[in-house]
Amino acid sequence: MAKIIVITGTGRGLGRAMTEGFIQGGHTVLGCTRSDAVVEKLNQQFGPPNDFTALDVADDAQVKNWATRLLAEYGPPDLLINNAGILNELAPLWEIPSEDFSHLIDVNIKGVANVLRHFLPGMIAKKRGIVVNLSSGWGRSTSPQVSSYCASKWAIEGMTRSLAQELPQGMAAIPLNPGIIHTDMLEMCYGEDAASYTAIEDWKANAIPFLLQLGPSDNGMPLTVPA
């Protein structure tokens, strides 16, 4: 059965890959990204009933307006995927500028909370829907030079597992490690070595069916997309 799927960060990387995969499978994607130009291209490429909006998830007012419109037009989503995230330039913790650290926290943690704040009431009213918050291997382990990113993804793990205890039966909140995929973000970390990791098309082929089969029994489980 076709699903309504909300995804943040649909402009590139995993968000773009999931968007393409879900739409190819006959599902409706309601997405956002920060770039007006990218949103225009997405709307031209995929068209109705799919719907893409330019906004910053770190801006609560923008997220509220977006969620209000989508809930009125489409109803609550069957699957809500918080994918939008950023990575600081690699550096020891004490060398990360305060404004860069704060911006990452605003997007990677507060952005997720903003989306949940405005979509969850509609989902809870229907007592259905699956929330997937993208974590990382660095949400369950650590490495040097990525302390801010680790901090944000460890926060996503804790926030999501706590949320799972608050939801009514019939729903689920899941922190999901997507795995190590060759994306622009991975190239920031690994340079040319990033190309040796899973190609994004291969990841998509595994991730889309995995995401679609998630259900209430997975509530609170820290999961990883199968390799």
Helix axes 147-164, 111-126, angle to 10 degrees: 20
Check the CA dihedral 36-102-188-24 and report its sign.
Answer: negative
Nearest to 15 by CA among 218, 183, 131: 183
Q: Are the C-beta atoms of 139 and 177 separated by less than 8 Å?
A: yes
CA distance 130 to 40: 28
- Using CA atoms of 185, 66, 201, 209 in order, give the dihedral in degrees to the nearest 10: 130
According to DSSP, the β-strands at 4-8 and 28-33 are parallel
User: What is the C-alpha end-to-end distance of the chain, expressed in Å?
Assistant: 26
- Is 74 among the catalytic positions? no
74, 149, 190, 197: which one is catalytic?
A: 149
Q: What are phi and psi of 40, to 5 degrees?
A: -60, -40
Nearest to 161 by CA among 223, 105, 82: 223
Instruction: Tell me which residues are annotated as active site.
Output: 149
